[in-house]
Structure 1
């Protein structure tokens, strides 16, 4: 199959596309043009990784107009420069992180930001959390190669503790993970995000 256009402009910014739908469009494509929010692009990259087709299949992206999409497009320098290979931040459940991840107490998101939960977390070899915290925020650092930016908030409204590294590992009381605006399907007690230095994906501007 030649280049395909994957139009997910009707997808809400916090809604992932169907895995079956992604597979039906992406699996045999030689090039993919994604239209839609960040979860649409993340789903395509995750599927290409599972099929061992990164970086053989170039990907272009026409972002939606929500804040996460416009922010990521700016960070990637979308529409400028030449085609390039970029790092891929993955998690230990098969997902991809492009814009922002968050770990909070488990429950309704509008309430959990004021709650604390027990967690121990390491950014590479540095311990960044050990006890009660309010949340952990993670972002891929697109100004560097294979690097994450981590912010740990111990008490709401207090200045976070910041760190950078290749990987973040968390062990915690039951918690909610949100990746690129999409809540993970169940509570977790362990989670890892890491920049996989063995994998690159090709962005075609």
Structure 2
């Protein structure tokens, strides 16, 4: 019995030890489970917070993108308007250069003494046919009937030989209204022609004809 009692006590001690170890293990497992659960909750909260931040940031980016797109659209509109303006200015410049050559041809051999720098086709027509134009000194261009007759002969040659007449005169008058006199003060004809050649304008054929007329009289 004594021996059995001793053995029993030993076993009891071992069992108690195992029990304590198992209990401790369960406690650790429970603690770990609680820790994991806590970590999951923290992670979830963190993710929720991160998601909120992500959504907020996304909304900010969307708004910035919206503003940026609007700015791009506005810049594109301004670019198109500036491009159109540049085309109009170039076309107007070509019209003025062409008119100057036509005016010189009309007055060729007439012996007119007045300055011709600012004389227009309209001025010459007014002077030839007695139309009063309060915005010009057309009546001072010709001082004799001989001068007028020579100018009329030149105008007839323009029409018969070069096929330049009313249609071109009207186009020149219309295109000149596009031109700002300070936009291209000393533009080179070669550069002007090269740039005009790139323009797909609705009056492209007329513009090309103007270039040919100008170069033909050089």
TM over 0.5: no
TM-score, normalising length: structure 1: 0.23
**Higher strand fraction (1 or 2):** 1
Larger Rg over CA atoms: 2
**Higher helix fraction (1 or 2):** 2
